[in-house]
Amino acid sequence: MELTAKIKRYNPEKDDAPHWETYEVPAEPDDSALSLLLYVKWHLDGTLTFRKSCAHGICGSDAMKINGENKLACSELVQDLVSGDGDTIKFAPLPAAPVIKDLVIDQSRFFEKYRAVKPWLMTEGPAPEREREQSPEEFDIIEDATKCIMCGACTHACPSTWSDPDYLGPAAMLKAYRYTFDTRDDGAEERLPVLDSDKGLWKCYTIFNCNQACPKDIDITRWLSALKRRSVTAA
């Protein structure tokens, strides 16, 4: 089928503001949305800039706004985005982040938030001789949260992030959940106070945009609610 790819372009060296450009692209129903972008870059306009790496929904590089929703371009099939020949798919960078060029956003703030929640195992006492063991039941508590690929679709889909770009956001706080609820972790006392602020947990109004955006179908809002309860108990 023939489709129209409508792409939000922005080159800070030449453009005053982002603008839309359209490209006619041939596609099969089971092509990924990413393949449309690759077609544009390889055959129509080599200046188009976007991030991609594995193209299999693992690296989390190509999160962007597709037809108005934050998605992974590689994990979306054309047949799920259009109803037929001649339809249009719109591509824009993730919202609430500075755009470096075209579909590439500046992720430095995103990763600053990630580091702020101390996303590593904090333990007390001497290290065991072998690895720190965890039972399958203990892993079940955090299993869902470990699936996060840090693509940023959730954080940039959150209205609290839109209103305050410094809001920690679901991705970082999901990491906080993943470590705080890890039965081997002793870092709650250090980690929770970072979340217990007006940049953190209490600005989550359980709107569920993060759940909807997550390409890995993680039940993010649920885990953030568990963190809130833990914070209340700890306070």
Partner 1 sequence: MASQYGKSRRSNAGNWFLHRITGTFLVFLLITHFWVQHYDDTTRSVVEQVVTEKGERPEYSEAAQKAVRAKFGADAEVTSYDVLMLRLADPVYAVLWKGFNILFLIAALHHGFYGLNNILTDYIRNPLNRKIATSLSWTAALVLLVIGVYSVIVAGWGYAP
Order of all β-strands in the sheet with 2-9: 19-26, 2-9, 88-92, 63-66, 69-72
**Interface region with partner 1, contact rule CB under 8 A, candidates 32-40, 72-80, 110-118, 138-146:** 110-118
What span, in angstroms and rounded, lies between the C-alpha atoms of 147 and 216? 7
Q: Which of residues 17-76 bind partner 1 (CB under 8 A)?
A: none
Instruction: Identify the H or E element spanning 198.
Output: none
Between CA 82 and CA 29 the distance in angstroms is: 9
Closer of 9 and 113 to partner 1 (Cβ): 113
Q: How many CB atoms lie within 10 A of CB 128?
A: 10
Residue closer to partner 1 by CB (options 42, 111) is: 111
Contact positions with partner 1 (CB under 8 A) in 123-142: none
Rounded-to-integer distance, Cα 177 and Cα 191, Å:
10
x/- track of binding to partner 1 for residues 163-202 (CB under 8 A): xx-x-x------------------------xx-xxxxxxx
Residue 121 interacting with partner 1 (CB under 8 A): no
Q: Which of 70, 160, 209, 221 binds partner 1 (CB under 8 A)?
A: 160
* Residue 115 interacts with partner 1 (CB under 8 A): yes or no: yes
Question: What number of chain residues touch partner 1 (CB under 8 A)?
Answer: 26
Q: How far is the CB of 117 from partner 1 (least distance, A)?
A: 8
For partner 1, give the closer residue by CB, 155 or 160: 160
**Shortest gap between Cβ of 121 and partner 1 (angstroms)?**
19
Q: How far is the CB of 80 from partner 1 (least distance, A)?
A: 33
Cite the beta strand spans of 12-106 per DSSP E.
Answer: 19-26, 63-66, 69-72, 88-92, 99-101, 104-105
Q: Where are the beta strands (DSSP E) in the chain?
A: 2-9, 19-26, 63-66, 69-72, 88-92, 99-101, 104-105
Question: Distance between CA 122 and CA 141 in Å, rounded?
Answer: 18
The residues binding partner 1 (CB under 8 A) are 112-113, 115-117, 160, 163-164, 166, 168, 193-194, 196-203, 205, 228, 231-232, 234-235
